[in-house]
Amino acid sequence: MHIPFTKLHGNGNDFILIDETAGTVIPDEMKPGFAALYCDRRFGIGGDGVLFLLPSESADVRMRLFQQDESEAEMCGNGIRCLAKYAHDAGYVQETCTVETMAGTMPVSMGYDEEGEFWAEIEMVDPAYERSAIPAIGEGEYKEQIGPFTVYAANTGVPHAVIFVDDVSAIDVAAAAPQVRRHPSFAKGANVNFVEVTGEASIRIRTFERGVEGETESCGTGATASAAIAHRLGLVGAEVAVETNGGPLVITCGERTLMRGPAETVFSGVIEG
């Protein structure tokens, strides 16, 4: 076994990337187990998921993402930025490209700034608020009282629950999130975001991710859902600075929903055995 890989992160949301542009490296039936093994931070490489970069018949590149619980995620905003950085650095794409995901095809603009830092801006799928699109049981837009929390929800490629709190640092995410993440109203479960509005154009969030089954340093689709719902409720304007534990993102709400943020390569290596 000789498997090259690259480790990347977007605001601390970290991924192992396997390049399959030249052909299959990990057979499809082995991808879930591969993610479970190598995402482990003690016995593997460590990561929130494994990104597979593949050729696409309809876009410039294709992304698949498997998580440590062996599930395949529909898409991931931070993951797309990491995949775009790898594809850009490898010469597969230039300053713009399209990325095929299970949630649709995402246009991406990217490059390096004057300080040599990589950034990417993704045109996200339009947030869906109807329960049928999240998916959630019932009709109309989602708003439920779950335990002590008033919960809103949207699908920004994956389902996200959004809870507004006075102080996100005071929330025990590990204890509070699971009752929402697995609430029977969510047909496929949901990621859970605790959101503090910190200004007219800023929020701070903490996210418990489905599939990871724990809090992650950052979540691009969660930042998008949180900003979109906050804007929809009139709590912030159309351009929202989002502070995550791992760093900043900028979400623009409007005719197009945009997410802008960094991505970094951590190291590359080879799995041998």
Q: Nearest to residue 51, comparing CAs of 30, 66, 37, 39?
A: 66
Catalytic residue chosen out of the listed positions 82, 97, 219, 253: 219
* Measured CA angle at 170 (ends 168, 172), to 5 deg: 95
- Tally of CB atoms within 10 A around 21: 15
Catalytic residue chosen out of the listed positions 76, 82, 97, 253: 76
Please, what sign has the CA dihedral across residues 100, 104, 105, 110? Answer: negative
Helix (H) or strand (E) run with residue 37 in it:
helix 31-38
Residue 102 DSSP one-character state: T
Question: Annotated binding residue at 74?
Answer: no
Q: Nearest to residue 194, comparing CAs of 175, 90, 182, 186?
A: 175
Please, what sign has the CA dihedral across residues 256, 259, 260, 264? Answer: negative
Question: Annotated binding residue at 77?
Answer: yes
72's tokens: 């395949």
User: Would residue 82 show up in a list of annotated catalytic residues for this protein?
Assistant: no
**Secondary structure (3-state) at 135:** coil
**Secondary structure (3-state) at 81:** helix
User: Would residue 97 show up in a list of annotated catalytic residues for this protein?
Assistant: no
Strands (E), 178-218: 191-199, 202-209, 214-216
Question: Annotated binding residue at 155?
Answer: no
**Secondary structure (3-state) at 169:** helix
Question: Annotated binding residue at 239?
Answer: no
Helix (H) or strand (E) run with residue 100 in it:
strand 96-101
Question: Annotated binding residue at 214?
Answer: no
Question: Annotated binding residue at 13?
Answer: yes
Contact (CB, 8 A) for 189 and 135:
no
Question: Annotated binding residue at 191?
Answer: yes
**Binding-site annotation: residue ranges:** 13, 67, 77-78, 191, 209-210, 220-221
**Binding-site annotation: residue ranges for substrate:** 13, 67, 77-78, 191, 209-210, 220-221
User: Which residues does the annotation mark as catalytic?
Assistant: 76, 219
